[in-house]
Chains A and B, each alone.
Chain A
């Protein structure tokens, strides 16, 4: 396990408002790191900045290179892929076209191999290959967005709220695939409001509050942290 993505002193602002400040994190190959926190804590802002979609201060080191100044497209080409909360699929294009465009930065042969792998991981997408992306269900969209990101053969995959709006069974599938990706050596950075599912899947966890990391540690230990359970694992914590 080597550290692939390392972030130092990251800050993101909207005008005078600082949404993220002084954040440092690391993602290693073959591991899952998760960021949990309430809505509005700054998780999505941080992830978007790491994906190059928002300007940020601080340093982002990927695979030994400083990529802080690179745009989104260059980051993807380097191997750092992001699946956003809004998925950003090409709604008027077919599932297959979406996937092929996912391999835009790769060779034709890599794309052909990649598409077989993605269809292997998500058999549902293979069934729907000629359907327009805009007509897919929520779960299928999430699969397609993840599959499209995988087509660029990333070594670090960042996922923003993959369980958003999905039925429990599908959520289970998604987290199963995250575990698979980790076992294949990919580093995963996961932002998730479903804190319990995130902690069960992750190796390392960061807790974000008002734009800062207030706690971090091994995910397994955090599951048993009483304060965390009360704050982020929601109603059962207080009730049971």
Chain B
């Protein structure tokens, strides 16, 4: 029943305005909604999914509009010929702004875009080439099959098709390997980096994509209005686009359309009625918009779309678990007997020595436990081994290769997977999507391939791999649950499934049994034995003695960042130094 209804609706919106039944005024509003929705769509991905934002999208729209205006009026380009040039120019502008800010902490990007928006606005207004504050007029219309689209009613199908294409591309993106990587960044970069995602690159890609969409909208705008002036691309216009994304629901595709519709219609209504109330003293609708923006962020930070979407049933495509298995990753061949070696590693924070000259090694098919009281330097050691922290001195070798200065992504690429003491999952993503992050390095579908949906065979393999890992750890019945609905114990198990998806040689587990019930612990122990039998090296930090003693092959004991003992479980148990350090008798 859904599809016929949608088809009917689509026919109505497509045909009605174009057929001439609808007044031209309404067609103009629809065009504005459609064009704004394309810009807002970029912001939805940027803000709601990528956790960044931009106040300068209007400036990108302006760059595109001016570029097309200039090319068509001055250099005789046809609008269609100008389109690719326009898109390339806007993307380049976005790349430059993005490159400058994506490596800085979150809020510098929006701050940079405020300044960029101001600068571009004044540039438009003061360049003689662009006609100053009068802008450029006489822009030729777009022709479709030889027919110029002169009237707003004729233009509407073009806007609708472009909006449709933008929605399609964006949906493809979010539902893919590249999209998962972007979504993972919103809740911090540490976990994402540990599975090979390069945060700066993913953020830059999203920013360029948002700029690309703004460029498309700018081209439509220029040829719809057939004239451009700087005012349309001021900072205020940029804020209005952001308002659309926030009201509609940042992070939701259809939120962009909803938000654009609300803002455009509201603005129109307010401009009609406010002067009746206050006299025509200027644009007072900003008061209303400002209040709406603040209230949305205070009361419904997810925007309005989720409120509506509650009533629309979610479709969930089943995971095809019989997809052909992923190829095992190709990694540098191991040299020497050990998978992982720490050779005299040191870490100082200012004057504090957190890890002091610690050495140990982990062989294939072995479980090694790091033991020691809280604060003994175990988690710091983990972070040194995985490249999250840099060594003050010493050396870490993975499969015999020194990894001095390597990033967490590079170390993940060598086959080292980890879990975190404080679980780091993406709360709003499902178990399946979270675990699929672990497969990131085993796929290679890039941004473009994902946009154009050419990634499907590989995506099926990645999801199948994730589903298999979830079944293996015994969480098959929670596969579609959002991560924030799980118990602490279950989240730890999900992290292990995610780590397994990397097809690791070395598994680093930081307190995997904390918060687990007895039965869950037994199952986890069973799983770790299986993995050991498959030849993995497992490095464990754990406090639960029962759990450790029955499982581990060897133990290294740390205290105050220093290795105070190493040996078989029974030796450690009887070591007086360990007893003193670990039990810290008061007497």
Residues of A within 8 A of B (CB): 15-19, 38-41, 134-135, 137-138, 161, 163-168, 171-172, 175, 193-194, 196-197, 200-201, 210, 231, 233-236, 238-239
B-chain residues with CB within 8 Å of residue A171 when the two chains form the complex? 584, 586
Instruction: How many A-B residue pairs have C-beta atoms within 8 angstroms? Tell me.
Output: 90
Q: How far is the CA of A121 from the CA of B506 in the complex (A)?
A: 49
Q: Is B572 an interface residue (CB 8 A)?
A: yes
Asked if B586 contacts A234 (CB within 8 A), the reply is no
A-chain residues with CB within 8 Å of residue B164 when the two chains form the complex? none
B517–chain A nearest beta-carbon distance, Å: 7
Asked if A194 contacts B376 (CB within 8 A), the reply is no
B-chain residues with CB within 8 Å of residue A167 when the two chains form the complex? 560
Q: How far is the CA of A15 from the CA of B488 in the complex (A)?
A: 11
- A-facing residues in B498-519 (Cβ within 8 Å): 511, 514-515, 517
Asked if A15 contacts B484 (CB within 8 A), the reply is yes
A-chain residues with CB within 8 Å of residue B486 when the two chains form the complex? 16-17
Contacts A163-B584, A167-B560, A239-B574 given; indicate if A193 touches B487 (C-beta within 8 A).
no
Closest to B585 in A: A196
29 A-B residue pairs with Cβ-Cβ distance under 8 Å, sorted by A, are A15-B484, A16-B484, A17-B486, A17-B491, A19-B488, A38-B514, A38-B543, A164-B374, A165-B373, A165-B375, A168-B580, A168-B581, A171-B586, A175-B586, A193-B373, A193-B543, A196-B584, A196-B586, A200-B587, A201-B586, A231-B546, A233-B583, A234-B545, A235-B549, A235-B578, A235-B579, A236-B583, A238-B549, A239-B573
Asked if B587 contacts A161 (CB within 8 A), the reply is no
Asked if A165 contacts B586 (CB within 8 A), the reply is no
Q: Is the interface of B mostly helix, strand, loop or mixed?
A: loop
Contact partner of A135 (CB less than 8 A), chosen from B350, B546, B585, is B350
A122–chain B nearest beta-carbon distance, Å: 18
Interface hub of A40, A167, A231, A239 (most chain B Cβ within 10 A) = A40
Asked if A235 contacts B582 (CB within 8 A), the reply is yes
Q: How far is the CA of A236 from the CA of B573 in the complex (A)?
A: 7
Asked if A39 contacts B543 (CB within 8 A), the reply is yes
Asked if B517 contacts A210 (CB within 8 A), the reply is yes
Asked if A235 contacts B488 (CB within 8 A), the reply is no
A-chain residues with CB within 8 Å of residue B582 when the two chains form the complex? 234-235
B514–chain A nearest beta-carbon distance, Å: 3
Asked if B485 contacts A164 (CB within 8 A), the reply is no
Closest to A16 in B: B485
Contact-residue bracket for chain B: 35 or more
Q: How far is the CA of A197 from the CA of B487 in the complex (A)?
A: 31
Q: Is B534 an interface residue (CB 8 A)?
A: no
Q: How far is the CA of A180 from the CA of B487 in the complex (A)?
A: 40
Contact partner of A238 (CB less than 8 A), chosen from B517, B545, B587, is B545
Asked if B586 contacts A200 (CB within 8 A), the reply is yes
Contacts A38-B543, A201-B586, A235-B573 given; indicate if A194 touches B373 (C-beta within 8 A).
yes
Asked if A236 contacts B586 (CB within 8 A), the reply is no
A-chain residues with CB within 8 Å of residue B583 when the two chains form the complex? 194, 196, 233-236
Interface hub of B352, B515, B560 (most chain A Cβ within 10 A) = B515
Q: Is B175 an interface residue (CB 8 A)?
A: no
B-chain residues with CB within 8 Å of residue A16 when the two chains form the complex? 484-486
Closest to B421 in A: A39
- A-facing residues in B555-587 (Cβ within 8 Å): 560, 572-574, 578-587
Contacts A38-B514, A235-B545 given; indicate if A197 touches B573 (C-beta within 8 A).
no
* Per-residue contact bits, chain B 350-384, to A (CB 8 Å; 1 contact, 0 not): 11100000000000000000000111100000000
Q: How far is the CA of A134 from the CA of B560 in the complex (A)?
A: 19
Q: How far is the CA of A15 from the CA of B490 in the complex (A)?
A: 14
A158–chain B nearest beta-carbon distance, Å: 18
A176–chain B nearest beta-carbon distance, Å: 9
Interface hub of B485, B514, B545, B549 (most chain A Cβ within 10 A) = B545
Contacts A40-B511, A235-B578 given; indicate if A194 touches B584 (C-beta within 8 A).
yes
Apart from the given pairs A15-B484, A194-B373, 4 other A-B contacts in the complex at a CB distance below 8 Å: A165-B376, A193-B373, A235-B573, A239-B574
Closest to B483 in A: A15
B-chain residues with CB within 8 Å of residue A200 when the two chains form the complex? 586-587
Closest to B569 in A: A235
Asked if B579 contacts A135 (CB within 8 A), the reply is no
Q: How far is the CA of A152 from the CA of B486 in the complex (A)?
A: 39
- A-facing residues in B171-209 (Cβ within 8 Å): none
Closest to B561 in A: A165
A217–chain B nearest beta-carbon distance, Å: 20
Interface hub of A39, A41, A210, A235 (most chain B Cβ within 10 A) = A235
B113–chain A nearest beta-carbon distance, Å: 31
Contact partner of B374 (CB less than 8 A), chosen from A193, A231, A239, is A193
Q: Is B444 an interface residue (CB 8 A)?
A: no
B-chain residues with CB within 8 Å of residue A234 when the two chains form the complex? 545, 582-583
Q: How far is the CA of A231 from the CA of B560 in the complex (A)?
A: 24
Contacts A16-B485, A235-B573, A238-B573 given; indicate if A39 touches B580 (C-beta within 8 A).
no
Nearest 10 interchain pairs by C-beta: A165-B375, A40-B514, A40-B515, A239-B573, A15-B484, A16-B485, A197-B586, A164-B375, A39-B514, A194-B584
Q: How far is the CA of A16 from the CA of B490 in the complex (A)?
A: 12
Q: How far is the CA of A193 from the CA of B514 in the complex (A)?
A: 13
Asked if B544 contacts A38 (CB within 8 A), the reply is yes
Q: How far is the CA of A56 from the CA of B175 in the complex (A)?
A: 37
B-chain residues with CB within 8 Å of residue A201 when the two chains form the complex? 586
